[in-house]
Amino acid sequence: MEWLYSTRGFVMLAPDLTPNMGLFWYFFTEMFEHFCIFFLCVFQLNAVFYVIPLAIKLRDHPMFHLHLLVGLTAVFKSYPTFGDAALFLSLLPVWGHCFKYMRNLFLVVCMWLYSIVLAPVLWHLWIYYGSANANFFYAVTLAYATAQIFLLTDLLYAFLRREFHLRHGPAPKEGQGMPILMNLK
């Protein structure tokens, strides 16, 4: 059963620390041996456990749930690639009607451009020229992950806000002064 360790076990245990656009490699490079297993469990759990809360919230919208999970996997899996993000982005126009409720679109686009342009540059500087540091490339990785997370959460916010407006009508203009749309438990 050694093949099991080399295939499924490789994805679960993440033994190889080659830099990629994910969050695992630098974290486990700098991790103390004592806490390795603990943080590995936390990270892998984090990658999968969003299924249940989102399933409860989006029980009437399975396609959107699937789309969000594709996006979350693209950020939190152990060895992500641009292909994972491409799958998520290519399905984004399906929910184009939600774009007008999105609030962080400019920020997301800026961060994404920044990370995509700088990632190969800083990688080259670190590995080939020896002038930059591993930290530069790591920062770009963090910006990339944050951009994706902002996009995901913004999309969910926009979707839910649109659902709210569909049920309860648009925000009243006049009336009792300044009505605000807020999240409250």
Partner 1 sequence: MAAARASGPVLRPLFSALLFLSCYVFHTVALTKDEHTEELLIVPFRSGQVYSHFEFTTLWDLDFAGSEGPRYKLQHFRLFPRALGQVMAEYRVQEMHLTLTQGMWQQDKWSYPLTSAAPGAELWVWFQREVDDVDQAWFGLTNALSGLFCASLNFIDSTSTVTPDLSFRPQGLAQGLFKTKPSHLRYATLPRENVCTENLTPWKKLLPCSTRTGLAALFHAGQLYNTQYSSLGVHLRPVCQNDSCTDASLELRQVLSTVADPPAVLNGKQDWSMKRYFSRSLSGPCPMAGTSRVYVDVTGNQTSSFTLKPEPTELKVTSYQDYSRKLAVYDLWTFPFHKEHGLNVDMKWKREVAYNQLTPPLLYVHRFVTGYGQEHGGIMSLLYNRHPYLEQQVIYMELVPWFTRMYLHTLKVETTEGNLIQPLMTRYKPGRDRQAPYLLEMVLTLPPDSTTRVSFSFERAFLKWTEYPPDANHGFYISSAVLTTILRQADNFTVPPHMGSGLESGLFHSSSTEFPLCLHTETLLISLPTPDFSMPYNVICLTCTVIAIAFGSLHNLTTRRFQYTDLTKAGSGGLRARLARLFGREKQTTSEEQGEESETSDENTQEKLLNTNSVSEEEIDNKDR
Options 27-35, 79-87, 90-98, 114-122: segment touching partner 1 (CB under 8 A): 27-35
| Residue 180 within binding range of partner 1, rule CB under 8 A | yes
Q: Is 46 in the site for partner 1 (CB under 8 A)?
A: yes
The minimum distance between CB 121 and partner 1, in angstroms, equals 15
Phi and psi at residue 114, to the nearest 5° = -55, -50
Q: Does 34 bind partner 1 (CB under 8 A)?
A: no
Nearest to 150 by CA among 90, 87, 97, 75: 75
Q: Annotate 108-162 with DSSP letters as a single string.
A: HHHHHHHHHHHHHHHHHIIIII--S-HHHHHHHHHHHHHHHHHHHHHHHHHHHHH
Residue-wise DSSP of 55-73: HHHTTT-HHHHHHHHHHHH
CB of 7 to partner 1, least distance (A): 15
From 97, 100, 109, 113, residue interacting with partner 1 (rule: CB under 8 A): 100
Q: How far apart are the first and last CA of the chain?
A: 50
Which position has the token pair 């962080």? 104
Q: How far is the CB of 91 from partner 1 (least distance, A)?
A: 19
Residue 43 tokens, joined: 């990270």
The answer to the question of residue 164 lying near partner 1 (CB under 8 A) is yes
Site for partner 1, rule CB under 8 A: 15-19, 23, 25-33, 43, 46, 50, 53-54, 56-57, 72, 75-76, 100-104, 106-107, 126-128, 130, 133-135, 138, 142, 145-146, 149-150, 152-153, 156-157, 160-161, 164-165, 170-173, 176-185
